Amino acid sequence: MRNETYNAAVLSHTNPNLVRAILSIEVQQKKFREPLPNELLIKMEAAPFNPSDIAFLQDNYNVKKQMPCVPGFEGAGKIVEVGKELDSGFWLGKRVSCFSQQNKDGTWAEYFYAGAHEVLPVSDKLSAAQAATFFINPFTAWGLFEIALQRESSAIIINAAGSRVADFLLALARMHQLEVLAIVRKEQTAKTLIAQGVRHVLVESDPDFNSKLQSLAHELKATTAFDAVGGAQSGQLFNLMPSDSEVVLYGGLSGKAVDGLNPLSLIFDNKMFTGFNLNDWMAETDAVSFEVARQTLEELLTDNVVSTKIQQEVRLPEIAKGLRNYITAMSQGKVVIRF
C-alpha cells in the first residue's frame, strides 16, 4: 500500500533571472489522486534537465503552465496504476520513457501522471539515465535527419555539434554515410569530435571561420544545416551556404533573435530558413514510421553505438545544486534526477 503523498520539486514562479527561478523551487509533498480514465501513473526512476527546462524556468519557452507547478518535460519509470479506459494487462508494470509539455505537473517528481500518448515502452537494457533521456534528443535528431534525407543532401552542417542532439545526428549520419561539417565553440570539443572520426570540424572563434565554412560547405555540397544556437550565427550560417540550402533552427541557445539573413539569398538563391518543433513532428508522423524510429534509436543505444552523456546524477533534495552544475557545464552532459 503506497503512502498518501509523494515528493516533488515545485516551482513557485518563473523568473528571467535563472538563479532566482532555481531558488524558488522547493521539494514539497503532493497528494496522490486517481488516474483519469486515459492516464497512467508512473513511478519515476529518473528525469533529466534539458535546455527547454531551463528556458521554461525563465518564462522564455513556448510552453506555459499554471503556477505553482512541477517542472520537467522528460523522464522514465514504471507504470504502477492504469486509468479505467486503458488495458491494465498491457500497461501495468511496463517500463516507459515519457515526454509531456502539457499544462500539468511535470516529471521532476517521484510520480508522474501521463497520457498513454505521452509514453514509449523502453528496454530494461537501458540504464535509468539513458531511458530518462530517450525521448527529446534522440527523436529530435531523427526528425531533423529526415529533412536531410528528404532533401537528398550529400552532407549536413551541425551547429553546436558538441550537444546531445548532435551525438545522435552524428550517429545517424554515419549510418547513412553522409558527410558532416561540425561547428563548435571550444577547441577541446573539436578535438573530441575529431578523435571520434568527424573529419570536418570548425571552431567558431577561428579567425578564418567564415572563409573555411563557406569553402567546406560548397565543397561538400552541404545543403542542410541544423542550428541549435540562433542569433547572428543563424544568419552567418545561412549566408555562407550554397544555393538551394535550408537552415533548420531547433534551439535558441544564444538567447537572441535570429539576425542577419541576406534577403537576396532567400529571393535569388532558393534558400530556406525553417524551424523544427518535436511536438509538431510527432503529431505529423504516422504510427508505423514512429515505431521504426523508436526501434532504431533504441537499438543504437542498447548496442552502444551512441549514448547520452551523463555528467551527474542527483537526488531530489539536491535539485538546486544539480541545476547550477548543469547550466555552467552543459557540454559536459546531462544532469539527471534519480528517484
Neighbours of 221 (CB within 10 A): 13
Quick: pLDDT tens for 89-141.
Answer: 999 999 999 999 999 999 999 999 999 999 999 999 999 999 999 999 999 99
The confidence score (pLDDT) of residue 289 equals 96
The H-or-E segment that residue 267 falls in is helix 263-268
The mean pLDDT of 261-283, rounded to a whole number, is 94
Please check whether the two domains, 5-133+308-338 and 137-279, share a CATH topology: no
Q: For residue 212, which phi and psi values (nearest 5 degrees)?
A: -65, -40
| Per-residue model confidence (pLDDT) at position 186 | 92
Question: What average pLDDT score do residues 180-202 get?
Answer: 96
The share of the chain scoring above pLDDT 70, in percent, equals 99
Specify the pLDDT at position 255: 85
User: What would the pLDDT profile of 137-157 be if each residue is shown by its tens digit?
Assistant: 999 999 999 999 999 999 999
Listed residue (169, 188, 187) closest to 178, CA to CA: 169
Please give the pLDDT value at position 331: 83
Determine the 3-state secondary structure of 285 from DSSP.
coil
Kindly state the DSSP code that residue 69 receives in the 8-state scheme: B
Give the CATH fold of the 5-133+308-338 domain. Answer: Quinone Oxidoreductase; Chain A, domain 1 (3.90.180)
CA nearest neighbour of 32 among 4, 68, 7, 9 = 4
Residue 143: which of 333, 294, 302 has the closest Cα?
Answer: 294
pTM: 0.93
Quick one: cell of 11? Answer: 516551482
Class of domain 137-279: alpha beta
C-alpha–C-alpha distance, residues 88 and 15, integer Å: 40
Average pLDDT estimate for 13-35: 96
Contacting residues for 26 by C-beta, under 8 A, at least 6 apart: 9, 10, 12
Give the pLDDT of residue 3: 83
pLDDT band of residue 244 (cuts 50, 70, 90) is: very high
What's the whole-number average pLDDT of the chain? Answer: 96
Q: What is the DSSP letter of 316?
A: G
Q: Give yes or no for a contact between 247 and 228, defined as CB atoms under 8 angstroms apart.
A: no
- Contact assessment for residue 234 and residue 258, using Cβ atoms and an 8 Å cutoff: yes
- Segment 182-190 mean pLDDT: 95
**Residue 1: its pLDDT value, please?**
56
Residue 2 has pLDDT above 80, yes or no: no
Least Cα distance to 335 among 304, 313, 318 occurs for 313
CA atoms of 145 and 289, how far apart (whole Å): 14
Domain ranges of the chain: 5-133+308-338, 137-279
C-alpha cell at 117: 500518448
Instruction: In whole angstroms, give the CA distance from residue 74 to residue 64.
Output: 16
**Helical (H) or strand (E) element with 96:** strand 95-99
Is the predicted pLDDT of residue 79 greater than 90, yes or no? yes
C-alpha to C-alpha distance for 284 and 155, rounded to whole angstroms: 25
